[in-house]
A and B are shown apart, each in its own frame.
Chain A
Amino acid sequence: MKAAIVTFPGSNCDRDLRVAFAAAGFEAVPLWHKETSLPPGTDVVGLPGGFSHGDYLRCGAIAARAPVMGAVAAFARSGGHVLGICNGFQVLCEAGLLPGTLMRNAGLRFVCREVGLAVGTSASPFTAGWRQGARLSLPVAHHDGNFAADDDVLERLFAEERVAFTYTDNPNGSARDIAGVLSANRRVLGMMPHPERATDAALCSTAGAPLFAGLAAALAGQPA
């Protein structure tokens, strides 16, 4: 299984995401933002955390128009799996691959702490490792994680069980405590918390490991 992890200028969790994918058995390869195609055999694309293009203009807005994003969008439309974490979530929203947008935190400050989460659905390749309603704790580290969308979009996300995670102690003012959302085909996940920072027993938490393990299992079970 191959995971291609995009590096935008200003990405700073690209290495961490490659390490987490590799630990779950993936071949994790870097993918430069100026490329126009994905490496052959890519099973999942990772959009990492960081400050692509310095968060200038609007978080994720410039990266969403990077050359590689055309290939990522085509991959997603054809049923490919895409995981966007933190800045990667912002890029997915800016690219139109996920609904909604991420605004400045309600407290107006950067916030780095462990937050409590509830799993909103286990019906996705990313969340199959948990039962619905399971509680876990993951670190967040962002200035712009305040998820916002129209009321009807929010209604639809819940009705279609596309809210992958909600906060149990909302750190940023996100609408309806939303911490992560899935695409309609459930193969694109964007989330603000950092599961890749919690996949190693030495780091005192392996709470994020089921995401990568679940994805590996789902992809292994997929017909070739």
Chain B
Amino acid sequence: MPDRDMTADTAPQDRLAPEPAITPDLVAAHGLKPDEYERVLALLGREPTFTELGIFSAMWNEHCSYKSSRRWLRTLPTEGPQVIQGPGENAGVVDIGDGLAVVFKMESHNHPSYIEPYQGAATGVGGILRDVFTMGARPMAAMNALSFGAPEHPRTRHLVQGVVAGIGGYGNAFGVPNVGGEMRFHPAYDGNCLVNAFAAGIARSDRIFYSAASGVGMPVVYLGARTGRDGVGGATMASAEFDEGLEEKRPTVQVGDPFTEKRLLEACLELMEAEAVISIQDMGAAGLTCSAVEMGDKGGLGIRLELDRVPVREEAMSAYEMMLSESQERMLMVLRPEKEAEAREIFARWDLDFAVIGETIAEDRFLVLHGNRVKADLPLRALSGEAPEYDRPWVASPPRTPLGPLPDIGPIEALQVLLAHPDHAHKGWVWEQYDWAVGADTLRRPGLGAGVVRVHGTRKALAFTSDVTPRYVLACPETGGAQAVAEAFRNLCAVGARPLATTDNLNFGNPERPEIMGQLVGAIRGSGAACRALDMPIVSGNVSLYNETAGRAILPTPTIGAVGLIADHADMITGPARAGDVAVLLGRDGGHMGASALIWAAWGREDGPPPPVDLEEEARNGAFVLAQAGAIRAASDLSDGGLALAGFEMAAAAGTGLALEAGDTAWFFGEDQGRYLLAIEEGALASLLAAAQEAGVPARPVGRFGGEALRLGTAQAHMAALTALWRGVLPGLFGSG
């Protein structure tokens, strides 16, 4: 169907370049496979227009359609009495009692961040914040999980500096405290860094806003910043492998404006308070296209858009560009018509654009008009409902053979190797660039385990953590997927928070390769089983595939973001430990060195199976920590680097030393799961150990905090020297001052 003249007067359209003819090359450039294009032709019974091709490309790419992962995502546990809204909306919603709900999600911005690190990371933060406040929640906390290539890779320094500055630049100005996250380095990320951004907000549980439109003839309103040409085709770009010519992709990265986002937040919350909103959807990937289709599809309605009414900041934009622009800080809303004047007044007060650009219609139709011509006329529900879904072939990762013999290493030397490794070094260089205290509700800052933020004006607090160990996922996707959830569970328990729910951000390579698809399938199975066993349903998430360059994939990285509730913040396990406290090992004695942090940091080895995850043991030990929270001065989960690294970090946080009993390397550095190191006041020790025995939880004293040295058996080093080593790594690599 060529463009149809609606009237004889086509003046605005005449200034536009003519639209290109639809050729196989043009179809391929839109990321549509030949069989997918056949599907388009069959659906329409005609050739699509250029704008329509762009719309299909946006709706049917991996990023928007989840076509490779959907059948496996359906197997994840997403329900529970605490869940108000699971996956499928802008973010998940979980009840925290007393009429309040926490709204949260994690989302990747990997490809854009590799191309333009500052803006890529900044707009990742902006996008996830919008997902949260679109649902009526005021953002209260943010986290970021970052994976970079080897520190010595020529691109890494530039990426690290840009990504961290971009996250800070956006979140700090917006005004959300950044209270946690992760940062790792591995050569597998040399060609594809990962930037996974998490945000959580608080809403009244009876005042959650959804994307489903309702009512025919209702005004469709455009809110926020104006539309430019930035990000056109971004979602399609994010669904492809990188090859040469990265620089040419820079125009597909959007530019963030946290100042507009902050005003958009305040204006949207006022609009919601005024009960003017029927439904609302943020314009993220594929902007106007995805948001309009989403609202119509969920509401069982059609949408009619008149692009001449869209506020633009560039001249002579085509319908194609407007429909695919990923300009930031924009929202689409279906408005209660009787509230239009009030809504306009709110947006004028915040100096933001507000334009009625269309209406809901009864037919199943997505009608896009521009310059008095029909630029797209598509069956709306088919755009998402008929999107391809693949059952891609997959092969399970081969099981690992047992770990071979390890060279001898003294425990202090081994600890120094870990402290000097950027994965385990002090991360202050990162989080001091983030405002972790804005809002004046941060109860536990970044740096050690979960961050904790008070729910403003209440006694409640929420704990946030983000975890995954890609080494384990590579070694065994199923165990690694379960371990990520188990570690998140432990980090929440270690601050006295009851684990509530999770969000997952699945980062993998090219799913068209069966071994990569096998990693995805295994990780989903493992994390699903762990979420079920630990009662932490997955309420939102995001899949990022094609993280490959020149055929080389990233480590499989299924990041788990998790939220826990502390009903009264006075019951938080606050820490730090104090000199004289007894160090108690909760859980089994360690010894598992396969795929451990130490063998990688010390000898560059990644062999051996990952530590097994016993979900019953995790649940039992976590429940014990929560039951005994009042008797625990400080707690840390044991993960990378085992007992020795956790002991050092707890001692460093306390500004004191620690003496641990003698053991072999595997006892100090083994990464067996389900374990915690506790700091217990001498007088509380006996009753804690008795309670552990009664609960069937292994617990025994293994040392004592105090002094100025870290002692591991008979070997020791000054805490001051170890701390200086640990703190100096990131400034040494990425710049001090």
Contacts and interface: CB of A to CB of B under 8 A. Distances in A.
A197 B445 CA distance: 13
A202 B173 contact: no
B462 to A, nearest CB: 14
A110 B168 contact: yes
Interface in A153-205: 194, 196-197, 199-200, 202-204
B350 interface: yes
Contacts of A53: 259
A13 B436 CA distance: 13
B330 interface: no
Given A112-B435, A141-B437, A203 B263 contact: no
A141 B435 contact: yes
Interface in B713-735: none
Interface in B436-457: 436-443, 454, 456
Contact of A141 (B257, B260, B438): B438
Contact of A110 (B172, B428, B737): B172
A202 B443 contact: yes
A12 B439 CA distance: 8
Contacts of B351: 9
B173 A9 contact: no
A13 B257 CA distance: 19
A197 B440 contact: yes
Contact of B175 (A13, A107, A113): A13
Interface in A78-119: 106-113
Contacts of A13: 175, 438, 440
B434 interface: yes
A209 B63 CA distance: 49
A16 interface: yes
B573 to A, nearest CB: 14
A46 interface: no
Contacts of B437: 112, 139, 141, 194, 197
Given A54-B173, A107-B737, A196-B440, A9 B168 contact: no
A50 B175 contact: yes
Interface string B161-172: 000010011001
Nearest to A9: B263
Given A13-B175, A51-B172, A141-B172, A110 B435 contact: yes
A139 B438 CA distance: 10
Contacts of A51: 172-173, 175, 258-259, 262
Contacts of A15: 439, 456
B259 A20 contact: no
Contacts of A54: 173, 257-260
B432 interface: yes
Contacts of A12: 173-175, 262, 438
A39 interface: no
A9 B262 contact: yes
A32 B541 CA distance: 38
A51 B170 CA distance: 11
B123 to A, nearest CB: 15
B370 to A, nearest CB: 31
A109 B175 contact: no
Contacts of B433: 109-112
B569 interface: yes
A10 interface: yes
A113 B432 CA distance: 6
A143 B434 CA distance: 10
Contacts of A56: 259
A43 interface: no
A9 B350 contact: yes
Interface residues of A, number: 35
B439 A16 contact: yes
A57 to B, nearest CB: 12
Contacts of B172: 51, 110, 112, 141, 143
A108 B168 CA distance: 13
A222 B169 CA distance: 42
A202 B168 CA distance: 25
Nearest to B161: A109
Interface in B147-165: 165
A64 B673 CA distance: 56
B618 to A, nearest CB: 30
Contacts of B168: 110
A61 interface: no
Contacts of B173: 10, 12, 50-51, 54-55
A20 B440 contact: yes
Contacts of A113: 428, 432
A106 B433 CA distance: 14
A126 B607 CA distance: 62
Contacts of A20: 440
A217 interface: no
Contact of A108 (B174, B259, B442, B737): B737
Nearest to A13: B438
Contacts of B456: 15
B440 A10 contact: no
Interface in B398-450: 428, 431-443
A219 B252 CA distance: 56
A202 B569 contact: yes
A83 B570 CA distance: 32
Contact of B432 (A9, A50, A112): A112
Nearest to B461: A202
Contacts of A202: 443, 454, 569-570
Contact of B440 (A9, A107, A143, A203): A203
Interface string A201-222: 0111000000000000000000
A141 B175 CA distance: 11
Nearest to A34: B349
A76 interface: no
A112 B434 CA distance: 6
A15 B574 CA distance: 26
A13 B262 CA distance: 12
A35 to B, nearest CB: 12
A34 B257 CA distance: 22
Contacts of B259: 9-10, 51, 53-56
Nearest to A196: B440
B643 to A, nearest CB: 27
A19 interface: yes
A54 B432 CA distance: 20
B248 to A, nearest CB: 29
B262 A16 contact: no
B266 to A, nearest CB: 8
Nearest to B570: A202
A203 B442 contact: yes
A46 B441 CA distance: 20
Contacts of A194: 437
Given A106-B737, A109-B165, A202-B454, A10 B263 contact: yes
B33 to A, nearest CB: 42
B438 A16 contact: yes
Given A109-B165, A110-B169, A19 B432 contact: no
Count chain A CB atoms within 10 A of each CB in B350, B432, B435, B574 and give the residue with the most: B435
Nearest to B168: A110
B279 to A, nearest CB: 26
Interface of A: 9-10, 12-13, 15-16, 19-20, 34, 49-51, 53-56, 106-113, 139, 141, 143, 194, 196-197, 199-200, 202-204
Given A12-B438, A112-B433, 15 more contacts: A9-B263, A9-B351, A10-B173, A10-B263, A12-B174, A12-B262, A16-B438, A16-B439, A51-B173, A55-B173, A106-B737, A112-B436, A141-B437, A197-B438, A202-B570
Nearest first, the 9 A-B pairs at minimum CB distance are: A12-B175, A54-B259, A107-B737, A51-B173, A16-B440, A141-B435, A197-B440, A110-B433, A110-B168
20 contacts: A9-B259, A9-B262, A10-B262, A12-B174, A12-B262, A13-B175, A13-B438, A34-B349, A50-B175, A51-B175, A109-B165, A110-B434, A112-B172, A112-B432, A112-B436, A113-B432, A141-B438, A199-B440, A202-B570, A203-B442
